[in-house]
Amino acid sequence: MDDTDVVVTFQTFVGVFSDFLIVAIHTILYERHVYPRESFLSAKKYNYSVRQSRHPKVCQWITDAVAAVQTELLKGTVDRVAVVIYSQQDIPLERFVFDLSRFPFVPKEYHFTPMSRTTDDGETVAVLPRVDLEEQMRATMSRLSSCGSTLKPLPENCTFTVAIELRDNTSPPIGHPQPWIPAQPDLRNNNPDAAKKNSRTTPLRAVSAGDMVFETWIEEAKAKLDPA
């Protein structure tokens, strides 16, 4: 079957990224030694060897966190998702950032309506080209899997969380129970010059496969690079 014949809804689209995010979080936790490496098992995703925590509570927390992200993605409110690693003193040391600002916005009533994509010449092309998408997801996972050998080691007893940055002119999530709490938006601040001094950014990979377009990078805080 040609990729253009595959029905893709916005619900499907967001689900594809959510699956990727789950694997990415497990990979980050393994590579950054947030949990002992022996607590992870080998798995396969995107035809690539990955790691998955074998601790049920860790797995459930990640699943719940990504489900909360998915809810906000469906609302079209998310600009970026970040996996933030903290020191034992709750100081942010690293952020693995997924820039989703180029994700399409689809009103709620069309979440289950088939998406379509055409070129400037009017040719119908795949919304999610399967082979191209898998190759690019695999390449991104490869870069994440090698970050442990390129980044400065973290101190012991680090913790982590998942954060979202909202698009401009969007309201924060409401409701009860509320999975999100307000937090500092960045390791840096809104001053570009100060940002360069207070953190180091390492690009990882850009994904551009049909409508699935996002960038990934790592921010290392000054507190990690130059501890007092």
Q: The tokens of 174 are what?
A: 């409401």
CA–CA gap between residue 212 and residue 193 (Å, rounded): 32
Q: For residue range 20-77, what is the model confidence (pLDDT) as tens digits?
A: 999 999 999 999 999 999 999 999 999 999 999 999 999 999 999 999 999 999 999 9
The pLDDT value recorded for residue 223 is 78
Tell me whether residue 179 is in a domain.
no
In a domain, 203, yes or no: yes
52 contact partners, CB below 8 Å, separation of at least 6: 23, 26, 40, 41, 42, 43, 59
pTM of the model: 0.89
What pLDDT, on the 0 to 100 scale, is given for residue 199?
Answer: 79
In a domain, 177, yes or no: no
Helix axes 10-31, 56-75, angle to 10 degrees: 140
Asked if residue 181 belongs to a domain, the reply is no
**Which residue range(s) make up the domain with 210?**
3-170+195-225
Instruction: Output the domain CATH number for residue 92.
Output: 3.30.900.10
Contacts of 172 (CB under 8 A, 6+ apart): 166, 180, 182
Question: Is the residue at 144 inside a domain?
Answer: yes
Q: How many domains does the chain have?
A: 1
In a domain? residue 204: yes
Going by C-alpha positions, the residue among 145, 124, 162, 140 that lies closest to residue 207 is 140
Query: Would you say residue 180 lies in a domain?
Result: no
Specify the DSSP element, H or E, that contains 73: helix 56-75
In a domain, 186, yes or no: no
What is the mean pLDDT of the segment spanning 182-196?
Answer: 51
Q: Are 92 and 187 in contact (CB under 8 A)?
A: yes
